[in-house]
Structure 1
Amino acid sequence: MFPDNPSLIQEGPQPKSQAASPWSKPPTPLVLIHDGGGTVFSYYCLGELDRPVHGISNPNYDSGEPFPGGIQEMAKLYIKYIKNVVPRGNLMIGGWSLGGLLSLEVAWQLAQEEENNTGINLLGIVMVDSVCPLSWKNGDAQRGILSVVRTGAAWGPNTKEETKRKVTKCFSESGRMVGEWEMPKWETENGREIKPPPVILLRAKDMVPVPGGEEGVVSRVDVCRGDRHLGWDAYRKGLITKVVDIPGHHFNIFSDMDNLDVATEEIRRACKELEGWHVRRFFSWGKEEGR
């Protein structure tokens, strides 16, 4: 595993020597949270995203120890990690698969902190093929499906047995935590609604191949593959601000070079869009206050 958590994946563009415009701002940092396997290796495969990029790995990857408090406990810890690299100012978060779910919980906890003006301004979330966990319990979503099977990424020829064991343990523990996760309700204790940040969802277009290729048998991550929002409307309509289709299936987004190039471009574009939306909201608020 990487010694630092978060680890610095990309430094971003170096500041120019000439004096910067008073209107120019450095690119917003992006923090990517690990997938179900617990590592951030896939994010190191990405091309340049034109901003500082940090990765949060599962700190219990080596020990295999569970998080008794589940997703909520992980998110609370990860916010501490985030504040070590972005203590104040604008921030974007995201991740592949489980990383997108954890980002949603982090966003919820940060939103509650924002009520007390703690200083971090979350511009949005970039989910990479993160499927809403409610889809696994939704009978309508599984209509026409004969069987749902668990699938995983194929191991490379040089993958160590120790790595397989640790990743498999993380996947198992992730499944338990997601199954027990009480998803954010986006309202305060007194019933006041808190609006979630914008979410851009990168959605893999293909289905994961299943053993035997039997018709009607799908991978668990493909239960909602035909739904452009990957089941998220069952949780909260309007949560997904934009969907971008990307090539490949859930498990080869980062391992196939052509898919990886597209994923890099779309993550880069999503970050710039989130920044642009923030600027437009900022100026619209200013106009309203100036009336």
Structure 2
Amino acid sequence: MFDSNPNPIQDGPPNRQPNNPWAKRPVPLVLIHDGGGTVFSYYCLGDLARPVWGIANPRYDSGEPWTGGIPEMATAYLRFIRQAVPRGKIILGGWSLGGLLSLEIANQISKNPITYPFDVTGIIMIDSVCPRMLTQPAAAPVVQHVLTWGVNTREETKEKVMRCFAHAGKMVKEWKLPEWEDTHIKNRPPPVILLRATDAVPIPEGETGMSRVDVHRHDRLLGWGGYRRDLITKVVDIPGHHFNIFNEQSNLDVATEEIRKACLDLETKFGAISTAPRRLLP
């Protein structure tokens, strides 16, 4: 489906705008795939008014595991990002696993600024749950979520997606969250805006418990405060549950609008305060 990287998703406005020749080019947004390995969901988004690139799992077809885990993936994805945006400002983001990979990518950039000449304006996590919290006891039994498929989905596609999910789950459990030096602003995490789904994932009839992604749904920060209290700059509630953010049009419309606004906030409002200690904003 996505056998090449990077994937151009949206072109954004033209480089030169006749009515405003001094207008700055919007910061490009790079969206990293979710646990299923593809960037299909990001093509469903409405206009984000900026260049948007997608990074899919290049091993989606082969099924080859990433023996180096999430850090190895991030290093490989940085090469793809440089093909799309050779240098300068970028916004990173992604749904679920994509948010975790964005954090790892930003950390590698902060530690290797010569190799990776990027200025990470910020990160947009789309319902990404802190994996450190997922290892803690749940208040109710954890129920395995059963994916739903379109009527035309091929068996081959289902197998590849499920294989990617299995590999992703293993890597997330083994992932050591990034450490930051904090000696300089470039060595701290960039501002992070968290889009948080408000609903719990429905449980199959006859079962009790909750989906693993909802173990800490009651926590507005989805567990990230247990990693770094200053990581999340802003939390925005969006309708739907973890698995239908991009499936239902009404949810998708809100997600598009909030991602668009989050990009603008990271370009303007939060860029100015990134050098100071952060507090969570409403």
In the alignment, which residue of structure 1 is the partner of 2:202?
209
The equivalent residue for 2:79 is 80
Residue 137 (str. 1) matches residue 129 (str. 2): no
Q: How does 1:112-123 map to 2 (within 5 A)?
A: 112-114=111-113, 116=114, 118-123=116-121
Which whole-Å CA distance do the structure 1 matches of 2:17 and 2:32 have between them?
Answer: 33
The answer on 1:237 being equivalent to 2:229 is: yes
Contact 2:29–2:52 (Cα < 8 Å) also in 1: yes
Contact 2:3 2:58 in 1 (8 A): no
Give the corresponding residue for 2:211.
Answer: 219
The equivalent of 1:198 in structure 2 is 191
TM-score by length of 2: 0.92
Is 2:158 aligned against 1:164?
Answer: yes
Worse overlay, 264-273 or 116-125? 116-125
> How far did residue 212 of structure 1 move?
2.3
Matched, 1:255 2:247: yes
- State the match for 1:288 in structure 2: none
Moved more, 147-156 or 264-273: 147-156
Richer in helix (by share):
1
2:18 aligns with 18
The alpha carbon displacement at 1:119 in A equals 2.5
149, 155, 159: which one aligns with 1:155: 149
Question: Structure 1's 275 and 220: CA in aligned 2 closer, same or farther, altered over 3 A?
Answer: same
Structure 2, unmatched stretches of 5+, are 277-282
Does the 8 Å CA contact 2:121/2:271 hold for their aligned counterparts? no
The structure with the largest alpha-carbon Rg is 1
Structure-2 residue corresponding to 1:99: 98
Q: What displacement does 1:70 show? A: 0.4
Give me the whole-angstrom Cα distance separating, in 2, the residues matched to 1:242 and 1:102.
19
Q: Which residue of 2 aligns with 1:186?
A: 180
Counterpart-to-counterpart distance in 2, 1:32 and 1:95: 5
TM-superposition CA deviations, 1:57-97 (whole Å, max 9, x none): 00000000001100000000001110111111110010000
Does residue 170 of structure 2 align to residue 176 of structure 1? yes
Cα deviation, residue 213, structure 1: 5.5
Aligned CA-pair RMSD: 2.1
Q: How far apart in 1 are the matches of 2:215 and 2:52?
A: 31
Deviations 1:133-153 (A, max 9, x none): 1111123xx2x32x1122143
On the 8 A contact 1:129/1:202 being kept in 2, the answer is: yes
Query: Is the contact between residue 153 and residue 252 of structure 1 (CA under 8 Å) also seen in structure 2?
Result: no
Q: Deviation digits for residues 231-256 of structure 1, max 9, x if unmatched?
A: 11111112111000000000000000
Q: Is the 8 A contact 2:91 2:263 kept in 1?
A: yes
1:7 aligned partner, one-letter code: N
Match of 1:2 in 2: 2
Equivalent-residue separation in structure 2 for 1:278 and 1:262 (angstroms): 21
Q: CA deviation at 1:117?
A: 7.9
Amino acid at match of 2:143: V
Residue 208 to residue 182, structure 1, CA distance change in 2 (3 Å): same
2:122 maps to 1:124: yes
Which runs of at least 4 in structure 1 moved beyond 3 Å after TM superposition? 19-22
Residues 96 and 128 in structure 1, CA contact (< 8 A), matched pair in contact too: yes
1:33 aligns to what? 32
Correspondence for 2:256 among 258, 264, 272: 264
